[in-house]
Structures are given as C-alpha cells and as structure tokens.
Amino acid sequence: MNIGTAKPTLEELECVPHHLIDIITPDKKFTAGEFVKRADLAISKIKKNNHIPFVVGGTGFYIKSLLYGLCKIPPIPAAIRNELKKEVEEKGAQTLHHMLNEVDPIAAQKIDPNDGNRIVRALEVFQVTGTPISSYWKKDASTKRYQHFTIFLNDERSVLYEKINTRVDKMVQDGLFDEFKHLLEMGYTRDDPGMNSLGYKELFDHIEGVHDLYTTIELIKQHMRNYAKRQLTWFNKQQIHLTISPSQLTLFDIKNQIMEFLGHNEACCHS
C-alpha cells in the first residue's frame, strides 16, 4: 500500500532511519494499543543509541495514546459494537452523535459529529460500563508517559486543501489504481481494515460502476480534506509547544527550541 498511504520512498528511508514501516498486512486490524507497544520498543531502541526519537504522523489518537497512555476501559462485547455500527449505517453518524450528547455531552463536544468510529466507541463504553467515556479520559489525562516537545505544522486551510488535491493527483499519476488492482489480486477485499482506508475504499465503487473515474478522484480529495479538517480540530485541542507554517520552517530555530526544552527538563529532573 505504498502509493495510497504516501509511504516514505526508498531514498527517504535510506536518509533517515524509520520505524513501524511495513509491519502489518491490510487484512489485519491495528489498534492504538498495538501501536503503543511497538512504538515503545522503537523509542527504547532509539534512546539506547543516544538519539532523540521523532514521532511523526497525523493520527492524533494514536500519538496521544503513546504520550499519555490508553484509557483502562473494560472489554466491549462485539455484538454491542456491531449493533451501533449498524445504526450509524442506517441512521447516520449525526443521529448517534445526538444520542451521545444526551449521555455524555463532554465527549460529544470533543468528537466530530461525522466521526462514526469515535461516536460508536463513546456510546459502547457508556452502554457497557454505565460510565461516560469522558470520565475515563479525565482519569488518564494526568498520566504522562514521556517528556515530549510537540511541533504542529499548520498551513493556511486553503493552502492545505490545495496540497491535498495535488497529492491525490500525484497518487493517481503514480499508479494508485494499479496498486489497488494488485491488492485485489492478492485476495484483499472491502471487508479488510486496510482496504477501508482513505484512497482505497472509494475505488470499490469505481470498479463496481457506481462512480466514474473523475467522480472517484474528486471523492478521494473530498474525503481527505474532510479528514484533514478533523485532524486540525483534534490538534487544536491538544497541548502544542510550537505551531509553525511549513513555508516558514526554520530548522535552526526549531532545533534551539528543542534543545532549550531538553535542557529545562534535564535541569528539572536533577533539581
């Protein structure tokens, strides 16, 4: 899934050591808990080599889980989750978001009304435990697993959206459709978690004749812009040490701020 996930190129992988690349197949579910376990091992290895790890990505919940830990919520029966997912499909995410607002207004305020997965998660937790998921969040909010310095690269919205559109065009030009067909030939289907990700799931409707090529490409762009908007909403609510536009990126200044941060925390540890 090199093209659709914008995986680092071989040249980029040779320039800078990367971790957690090519670790799972599209038919396997990959949870935040599994990510934290693997990321912990990678960070430990990097630190043993006297290097500073950079955690890079856009999946805010996974990053937060690594930095602060996961909520200790009891297991949820699959039947309850599946029933809620069915309701999302039949009634729409916003209807269930209204339901969530009645039982857990704090969580409803933090979760995008169109984010079906997180809405289902919050509702299933309340149904099974009788406790709002926001209460679990509050318990775990003070747990800090790593000293970290957070850098948020934030473009103007119009610039970001144009970059997304250009990126999708390049994905198509680089062979996204051929990559998708190859995945189907390998036996992967719409039901596999990896095939339900942005840039791939839209292609099923195209090969089934629901959308033409132009409409499919426009849908991929739209869905990626929607996802980027949710990412911005998420990160704007997190603790960020430095927010900077990529066009104003000055590595010298960033390095100085990181070194100042590390020096301050080292002094705190020895005081």
Strand partners, 244: 153
Beta partners for 9? Answer: none
Largest distance between two CA atoms of the chain: 67
Please tell me the CATH code under which domain 78-140 is placed. 1.10.20.140
Q: Please, are residues 95 and 113 in contact by the beta-carbon 8 Å criterion?
A: no
**Dihedral in degrees, nearest 10, Cα atoms 229, 231, 233, 239:** -150
Q: Distances from the Cα of 156 to the Cαs of 57, 229, 265, in angstroms?
A: 19, 12, 32
Domain ranges of the chain: 78-140
> Tens digit of pLDDT per residue, the chain (271 long)?
999 998 998 899 999 999 999 999 999 988 888 999 999 999 999 999 999 899 998 788 899 889 988 877 888 898 999 999 999 989 999 999 999 999 999 999 888 888 888 899 999 999 999 999 988 877 765 578 898 999 998 888 999 999 999 999 999 999 999 999 999 999 999 989 999 899 999 999 999 999 999 999 999 999 999 999 888 888 888 888 888 888 777 888 888 888 888 776 655 544 3
pTM: 0.76
Nearest Cα to 145, choosing from 230, 67, 214? 67
Angle at 60 between CA 262 and CA 137, to 5 degrees: 90
